[in-house]
Amino acid sequence: MSAASGAYRGLLDKYRHRLPISESTPIVNLYEGNTPLLPLENIPRESRVDADIWVKLEGLNPTGSFKDRGMTMAVSRALEEGSRAIICASTGNTSASAAAYAARAGMRAFVLIPDGKISLGKLAQAMMHGATIIKIDGNFDDGMRLVREVAEEAPVTIVNSINPYRLQGQKTVAFEVVESLGRAPDFHCLPVGNAGNISAHWIGYSEACPGERNCVTASCNFCDGSCPYASEPLADSRPVMVGYQATGAAPFLRGHPVENPETVATAIRIGNPQSWDLALAASAESGGWFDEFDDAEILATQKLLAEKEGIFCEPASAVAVSGALRDLKSGKIPAGSTVVCTLTGHGLKDSDAAIAQDSAPMLTVKANRDAVRNAIAGALE
Ligand code: AN7
């Protein structure tokens, strides 16, 4: 099968020379990546915030979240290494992505999920793609521990972000942001759960800006100092990385793992982040910080984006915009800054959370013309 040359064929194809793949790596992809970077128009004006706020719509990846960037990389390498099965613990999106890429590769997928604590959309994805779903009466952190233990003896490849190929795939989001803006943003805001994504963003920005990059020592598992970006810089600076958590699941704010994480944003209901050190390094090296938002604030921002901008992201993603707005208002992020927020997952993933907000005026009327006309007239009053 062939396509026009120059057609987009996924991020392993586009960034081949910046990723740990070779000519013989079998590429498992769904043409992920290449997501829109969109400016917010109404929210900054109405909330009197003076900044260019851009949102990276990672929910427009093939399975509806940023996880696909890492999964194409991890599953391709697993296949190359002869693995027949992959396994992950997940709050939902990793399992949906793992299931899809395993299907594409003709591999088995095993996913451990916290019973009753992942959204139905994500569960539906794992089921449809034919993963073996193992529900546990514990949380993500319990699942992660079990996956580590089981993978020691079972013939399965872990595709959680402790698999370093995951972060390599995910770093490409930073390349795309820099290409879209023509420079690195001043600040990059994103939700933090297991902390792989903030770490991956920082690897990507560091490689895009070889002038001040320190990925050799700090984060890059593959870079031997001959990174192709050294001769091919995309940017001459790196952003300040700002990570936001849900108050009930905010280990980076507490300074230690949290025993029983709880939040409506189930994607980031994680108490013991696996990429703790990498995320702390990204924050420190970039001069960034962490902050937290309670569930009500997270949901309010999710609604604000949907109502004011036409952008429907899942609750976990909205926390990035909560943070950008609060920090701009307080001056922590200076006026006039260029800010990028990663919207990590699509709102349709968790329609229950959206419907539970129940703020849309829903009218039930008789199926006749007068009734409908009166309903419209009443709403316009
Ligand atoms: C929408 O699916 O951990 O800090 O198991 O689904 O890299 O973990 C999901 C995480 C943010 C946090 N936004 O990213 C999983 C899982 C969404 C997410 C995060 C997740 P990391």
Question: Within its chain, how far is the Cα of 43 from the centroid?
Answer: 22
pLDDT under 70: residue ranges of the chain: 1-3, 211-232, 359-360
Predicted local distance difference test score (pLDDT) of residue 231: 62
Dihedral over Cα of 26, 29, 34, 35: its sign? negative
Report which of 318, 35, 33 is spatially closest to residue 191, judged by C-alpha positions: 318
Question: What are the pocket residues of ligand 1 if the criterion is a CB atom closer than 6 Å to any ligand atom?
Answer: 65, 90-94, 191-197, 267-268, 314, 316-317, 344-345
Measured distance between the N- and C-terminal CA atoms of the chain, rounded to whole angstroms: 57
CA of 293 to the centre of ligand 1 (A): 16
Tell the residue nearest (CA) to atom 14 of ligand 1.
193
Helix (H, G, I), strand (E, B) or coil at 158: strand
Q: How remote is the CA of residue 266 from the centroid of ligand 1, in Å?
A: 9
Identify how many contiguous H helices and E strands the chain contains and give both numbers.
Answer: 16, 10
* Of 38, 106, 31, residue with least CA distance to 69: 31
Question: For residues 188 and 201, what is the distance between their CA atoms, to the nearest angstrom?
Answer: 9
Query: Residue 170: its pLDDT value, please?
Result: 98
- How do 37-39 and 52-57 pair as beta strands? antiparallel
> In whole angstroms, how large is the CA radius of gyration of the chain?
21
Residues with Cβ within 8 Å of 142's Cβ and at least 6 positions away in sequence, in order, are: 114, 136
Which of 112, 139, 197, 272, when mutated, tests ligand 1's pocket best, judged by the most ligand atoms within 8 Å of its CB? 197
Q: What is the pLDDT of residue 220?
A: 47
Write out pLDDT tens, residues 158-183.
999 999 999 999 999 999 999 999 99
Residue matched to tokens 């420079």: 183
CA 341, distance to chain mean position in Å, is 11
Ligand 1: centre distance to CA 378 (Å): 42
Q: Give the model's pLDDT for residue 305.
A: 98
Burial letters for 35-52: b for 16+ Cβ neighbours within 10 Å, e otherwise?
Answer: bebbebeebbeeeebebe
Q: Which atom of ligand 1 is nearest to the CA of 313?
A: 1
Closest ligand 1 atom number to CA of residue 92:
2
CA–centroid distance, residue 194 to ligand 1 (Å) = 6
Ligand 1 mean position, distance from CA 381 (Å): 43
Nearest CA to ligand 1 atom 16: 91
E-assigned strand segments in 121-161: 132-136, 157-158
Query: What is the predicted pLDDT for the residue at 59?
Result: 98
Give, for ligand 1, the residue of 35, 57, 67, 341 to mutate: max count of ligand atoms closer than 8 Å to Cβ: 67
Nearest to 337 by CA among 181, 175, 180, 207: 181
Q: Whose CA is nearest to atom 18 of ligand 1?
A: 267
Structure tokens at 231: 């001769």
Q: In ligand 1, which atom is closest to the CA atom of 96?
A: 2
Both tokens of 45, joined, read 């004006």
Under 8 Å between Cβ of 195 and 274? yes
Amino acid identity of 313?
A: C
Substitution candidate for ligand 1 out of 35, 65, 123, 142 with most atoms within 8 A of CB: 65
pLDDT in the model for residue 1: 61
Task: Indicate which atom in ligand 1 lies nearest the CA of residue 190.
Answer: 11
Best residue among 61, 168, 190, 268 to mutate for probing ligand 1's pocket (most ligand atoms within 8 Å of CB) is 268
Q: Rounded to an integer, what distance in angstroms lies between the CA atom of residue 167 and that of residue 205?
A: 13
29 alpha-carbon distance from chain centroid: 18
Atom index in ligand 1 nearest the CA of residue 199 equals: 7
User: Contact at 8 Å (CB) between 342 and 201?
Assistant: yes
